[in-house]
Amino acid sequence: MIRGVLRSKEIAALILLLSACAYTHPLKPTSHTAVVRAGQWGEVYRGGYVEIVSVSGLEPSLRLRSDMEVPTGEQTGLFNIYLCNDGSTRCHDSIAQAQFGFRAEAGHTYRLRAREQVNGSNRFWVWLVDEATGDVVGGTPPAAS
C-alpha cells in the first residue's frame, strides 16, 4: 500500500516536472512549421499582453496560449487582448479581440504586437511581425508617424 502511494506521488512529480519543462522551452519552427508567439503591449501604467486563442480553428496545447506551432500556408488567427495591472501579475478578462489572416512560412517565428488606438479606449491595432525580418505579415499596425 505504501509503495503504491509513493509510486503515485513519484508519477505526479514527474508529470509536473515534464509540464514545467515543456513550458520553459519555447517552441522552435521546423522545416515544415512556423511558430506564433504571444506578445506584450503598452507600458507599466497601462499595458498587458496578446494571447493566442486559435489559428485556423486549432487551439494551442498546454502552453498557456503563449506560443503555437502552425503549419505553413494561409492561416487565420484569433487573438485576445488583456489589460494587466502591476506588471503582468494581475490580468483581467480579455478587453478586446482581433482576428486576421496571415501566411506562415516554414522555419519562421512570428510575434504578436498590439497598441491601443486611444489610451483607455480598449480599441487596438493588432499585428503579427516576422521576428527575423521585422516585416508585418498580418493584422493592422498603427500608421507610421
- CA 124 from centre of chain: 16
pTM above 0.95, yes or no: no
Tracing cell 504571444 back to the chain, one arrives at 38
Neighbouring-strand partners of residue 82? 49, 94
Nine cell digits for residue 65: 496560449
Contact status, residue 47 vs residue 113, Cβ threshold 8 Å: no
Mean pLDDT by 10 residues, the chain (145 residues): 51 45 71 93 78 92 78 96 70 88 97 90 93 96 82
Please name the residue ranges forming H helices in 45-127: none
